[in-house]
Amino acid sequence: MNASAQPRLLRALAGETLDRPPVWFMRQAGRYLAEYRALRETAPDFISFCFDPEKAAEATLQPMRRFPYDAAIVFADILLIPGALGQKVWFEAGEGPRLGPLPELAAMEAEVEASTQRLANIGETLTRVRASLEPERALIGFAGAPWTVATYMIEGRSSDRTGARRFAYEHPEDLDRLLALLSDATARYLVMQAKAGAQVLKLFESWAEGLSEPLFQRLVTAPHTRIIQQVRAAGVDAPIIGLPRGGGQLVEDYARDCPVTAVALDTQASAAVGQRIQKTKPIQGALDPLLLRAGGKALDARVEGLLAQWGSGPYIFNLGHGILPDTPLAHVEQVLKRITGEGMRAV
C-alpha cells in the first residue's frame, strides 16, 4: 500500500500531523439516521441486532454511505461482555440497559475463555465490513473498559454510579477480582476483533468521572494497562485509543502512565491539556454533542477553534461523547464538509 492509500486515521495514530485531521463520530451508527431506525425495526431486540452479522454490518456501513467519515466503528455494544460472561442483559425500549443479578465471581472467572467464543459474531461483522469498506477508510473495533462495564453490572442499569463507587470502597477485593476478569475477557475480545479485521481498537471508559486519584489509578489506568499488555502479548499491534471520559485533571496522568496509543478527550478538556498530551501522543475529540445538535454559527466557531488549537499536532476530529439521536443530518454535514470538503450523499 503506498503512503497516500494508508487510511488517514492510521496515519494520525502513527503520530503524523496531516493537512486535515481524520474525522469520525462516536455512535455514528444510530438513531439520527432514518435508515438506521428502519433497520432497527427489522430486529426483534437490540442484543439480537448486535449479534446478527448481516444487520450489524449494514448498520456499521450506513453512516459511511451518507457521510465522508474516515473510519467505521463496528456496530455492537459495551454490554455484550457481561452477557457473554453469564449475566442477563436486555434493553428496555425507550429506557436503556437492564442487567440481572451479578453472577458469582468464580462462575464468571470460569467463563472468560468461553466468552470470546460467544462473541464470535462480532468478529464476523468486522470481517464483512472490512470486505466492503474502501481501503482508505479504517475500521475500528471496541470494548467497554472494565470499570464502566462494572458500573452497569453492579448497578443493573444506567445510574449515577454511586452504588458502584461504594462497592469499590466497601468490597475492594471483589471489585478488583471483577475488574481483573473483565480485563482478561476484554483483552481476548479485542484480540479476536483485530484478527477479524479491526485495524484500530478503542476502549470506552465512559464513566471515569468522580473518581479520586487513587481510585482512578486502580479502576481506570491499571485495568487499561493490563488489557493493552495482554493485547500486545498476543501479537496484536493495532493502535489503541483510550477514552477516560470525565477524568478531568487526571487525563494527563492517564496519557503518561497508560500505554494507549492515543487519548480521546471529552468536551471539558482544555486546549492546553490537549496540546501537552499531543507532545507525546495523538489526541481525539472533543466537540460537544449538544453543540452539534444545536448547529449554527456557534458550531462553526467551535469547529474552527478545535482545528486551530489542536490541528497543528496529531489530531483526530470527533465528539467528546456519542452523537445524540435527535441531531439534524444538516449539522453533521456542516461539520464534515468543513473538515473534508465533501457533503452529504443521498442514500
Ligand X SMILES: Cc1c2[nH]c(c1CCC(=O)O)Cc1[nH]c(c(CCC(=O)O)c1C)Cc1[nH]c(c(CCC(=O)O)c1C)Cc1[nH]c(c(C)c1CCC(=O)O)C2
- 29 labelled ligand-binding: yes
* 97 Cβ contact partners less than 8 Å away, ≥ 6 residues apart: 79, 89, 90, 91, 152, 157, 158
- 27 labelled ligand-binding: yes
Residues annotated catalytic, as ranges: 27, 31, 40, 77, 152
Cβ of residue 173: shortest distance to ligand X, in angstroms?
A: 26
- 77 labelled ligand-binding: yes
Shortest Cβ contact with ligand X: which residue?
206
At 144, is the secondary structure helix, strand, or coil?
strand
**Cα–Cα dist 240/251, whole Å:** 16
Cβ of residue 162: shortest distance to ligand X, in angstroms?
A: 17
The residues pairing with 90 across neighbouring beta strands, listed in sequence order, are 98
CB of 287 within 8 A of CB of 295?
Answer: no
* 72 Cβ contact partners less than 8 Å away, ≥ 6 residues apart: 24, 60, 61, 63, 64, 129, 133, 137, 138, 139, 140
Cβ proximity to ligand X: between 61 and 234 the closer is 61
Cβ proximity to ligand X: between 158 and 162 the closer is 158
Binding-site ranges for ligand X (CB under 6 A): 26-31, 40, 46, 73, 75-79, 96-97, 142, 158, 204, 206, 321-322
Cβ proximity to ligand X: between 278 and 316 the closer is 316
Nearest C-alpha neighbor of 9 from the set 193, 302, 239: 239
Cβ proximity to ligand X: between 41 and 173 the closer is 41
Cβ proximity to ligand X: between 12 and 89 the closer is 89
Q: CA of 82: how far to CAs of 62, 165, 185, 261, in Å?
A: 27, 19, 10, 26
Q: Do strands 96-99 and 89-92 pair parallel, antiparallel, or not at all (unpaired)?
A: antiparallel
**Cα–Cα dist 172/218, whole Å:** 10
Q: CA of 11: how far to CAs of 43, 134, 328, in Å?
A: 37, 16, 30
Cβ of residue 203: shortest distance to ligand X, in angstroms?
A: 10
Cβ proximity to ligand X: between 42 and 158 the closer is 158
**Cα–Cα dist 326/32, whole Å:** 6
Q: Do strands 138-144 and 71-73 pair parallel, antiparallel, or not at all (unpaired)?
A: parallel
- 117 labelled ligand-binding: no
Q: How many CA atoms lie within 13 A of 60 on its CB side?
A: 36
Identify the residue whose cell numbers are 475500528.
140
Cβ of residue 97: shortest distance to ligand X, in angstroms?
A: 5
Cβ of residue 17: shortest distance to ligand X, in angstroms?
A: 26
- 248 labelled ligand-binding: no
**Cα–Cα dist 183/185, whole Å:** 6
Cβ of residue 73: shortest distance to ligand X, in angstroms?
A: 5
- 165 labelled ligand-binding: no
**Which residues line the annotated binding site for substrate?**
27-31, 77, 152, 206, 321
**Which residues line the annotated binding site?**
27-31, 77, 152, 206, 321
